[in-house]
Amino acid sequence: MSFRTRIVIAALVVAWIPVLVLGLLMRSVGARRLTEANDLRMQQRGDALAAAWQEDARRLENRLESLARLLAEDNAVRVALRSSRGQALEDAVVRFASAGGVGVACILDASGTILAASHFPGDAGRRDPVLAAVAGVTDAPVVGVVSLPRGDVAAVLKARRIDVGGVGVVAVVGAALAELEAVPAGGDVWLLARAEEDGGGAE
């Protein structure tokens, strides 16, 4: 190889170095921007999910308050509660769920026996202590399994222990996860989800 040829090759190599460096730099910048865009998209999705969860939790809390008022103010319901049975209680719970737009409305006694259930008419008398235990979680909804006539479904639940004229009961309201656009849970999995005031959340 002649000296001139070596000079030409060296010049070509030197000329290509800036091009290669620029290409690598552009690739690095492009990858960084793509990563930033993906991170931003995930953050936005997370913020939207947290906001939706907070709204769903507030809605369930409001419906639970309404159910507590119904139990305290409806005389026919109060009489039915004292006897732990009665069509009036079942009818009232079904009407409440229909008017309030909740898929689950249930009244249990202190031992966990279902007194009335809008989501499963005729389920009165069955013991469900796990469902009653949801009342022990006061600061967040609970994702649990609810029995429906068509089978078990995962639902977001909110419950409270209420004293109605000296009779202690557990009031439960909830909705299926699919209705709330929440994160699906397996049929045998229980999750505790908290919606933080700052917009964040953990599961």
Residue range 110-156, pLDDT digits in tens? 888 888 888 877 777 788 877 778 877 766 787 777 877 777 877 88
The pLDDT of residue 111: 81
The pLDDT of residue 184: 44
Residue 3 falls inside a structural domain: no
How many residues are recorded in the chain?
A: 203
Task: Between 12 and 125, name the one with better pLDDT.
Answer: 125
What percentage of residues in the chain have a pLDDT greater than 70?
79
The pLDDT of residue 186: 42
Range of the domain at 77: 43-202
- For 110-166, strand residue ranges (E) read 114-117, 142-148, 151-164
Residue 22 falls inside a structural domain: no
Q: How many CA atoms, within 13 angstroms, populate the side-chain half-sphere of residue 167? A: 20
The order of strands in the sheet holding 142-148 is: 114-117, 104-109, 167-176, 151-164, 142-148, 191-192
Residue 20 falls inside a structural domain: no
What's the pLDDT band for 201 if we cut at 50, 70, 90? very low
Residue 14 falls inside a structural domain: no
- How many independent structural domains does the chain possess? 1
Residue 100 falls inside a structural domain: yes
* pTM recorded for the entire structure: 0.63
Q: What are the φ/ψ torsions at residue 163 (nearest 5 degrees)?
A: -100, 120
Residue 38 falls inside a structural domain: no
- 13-50 per-position pLDDT tens digit: 667 777 777 777 777 777 888 888 888 888 877 777 77
Give the count of beta carbons closer than 10 Å to the beta carbon of residue 106: 28
